[in-house]
Amino acid sequence: MFFVASKVFWFFIQPLNLSIILLLVGVASLFAGWRRLALTGCLGSLLILGIAAWTSFGALLLNPLEERFQRPEALTKVDGIVVLGGGLEGAINLARGGYELNRAGDRFVETAILARRFPDAKVVISGGVGSLILDGESDAVTAERLLIALGVDRSRLVLETESRNTFENALFTRRMISPDPGETWLLVTSAFHMPRSMALFRKADFAVLPWPVDYRTSGREGFGFFRDNPADSLNNATMGIREWIGLVAYWLSGKIASPFPGPA
């Protein structure tokens, strides 16, 4: 129920969809003769799109999340690597049988690098189909082809193909792996996604070390206009709003202990 509710809520609240809905309300209200509501809807739509696409608002939302966890230094032994799905184009890969990456594809590139650096480590790919409506290939299935093509031996790969969100990533991976005390495991995911991911793995009693990738900010943006191209700015705002809402929702539902998890 949480999964379905979160997907439906996010459909209506994400900036682009919300701006379209407000614009439709404005146009419909204009035809109905409700001029004040029409003006409110159109101005609201313009304001959301203008802030999200033309300012650094998204970067300012993402940067605190990206700075929250840093990579550990001086690692000499790693028993396993867990990479979370979300970096592959599931619908395209299902249709074409390839391994097309999206903006979060750094997760799998970095995982291949880590697998080469630590040749004895297991590599766990956690990610099923996270879409409520669209068909797509599980990220774990696609990533298996990709990592093998990049030189990772198939015998090292462990596929968790059922999880639909980060909560299930942590729960199902912990259940599948049952790590032994004292083992060192790395968690690879996007830097802005790391606080929620670390908190959920802690809740699942799976001790992991953060290995953030896929940074979207330099940390030097500050507030201003046209600091990035509008498409990337809109995407950053969308990801930032989604992640902060996710943190609060997971905290209120008891899935994590803090709305802004940090290093222990």
- DSSP letters of 60-123? HHHHHHHHS--PPSS----SEEEEES-SB-HHHHHHH-S--B-GGGHHHHHHHHHHHHSTT-EE
Share of the chain above pLDDT 90, in %: 89
Question: What is the structure's pLDDT at 5?
Answer: 86
- φ/ψ (deg, to 5) at 55: -125, 175
pLDDT tens digit string along 31-65?
A: 999 999 999 999 999 999 999 999 999 999 999 99
Place 132 in a pLDDT band, splitting at 50, 70 and 90. Answer: low
Q: Contact, 102 vs 91, CB < 8 A?
A: no
With H, G, I as helix, E, B as strand and everything else as coil, classify residue 30.
helix
> What value does the mean pLDDT take over residues 102-122?
97
241: which residues sit within 8 A by CB, 6+ positions away?
13, 14, 15, 61
pLDDT-derived band at 128 (thresholds 50, 70, 90) equals confident
This prediction's pTM: 0.93
Average pLDDT of the chain? 94
State pLDDT tens for residues 235-252: 999 999 999 999 999 999
Computed on alpha carbons and rounded to an integer, the radius of gyration of the chain in Å comes to: 20
**β-pair partners for 157:** 123
168-214: pLDDT as tens digits: 999 999 999 999 999 999 999 999 999 999 999 999 999 999 999 99
- At residue 133, the pLDDT reads 61
Locate 159 and state its tokens: 């596929």
In the DSSP assignment, the letter for residue 130 is -
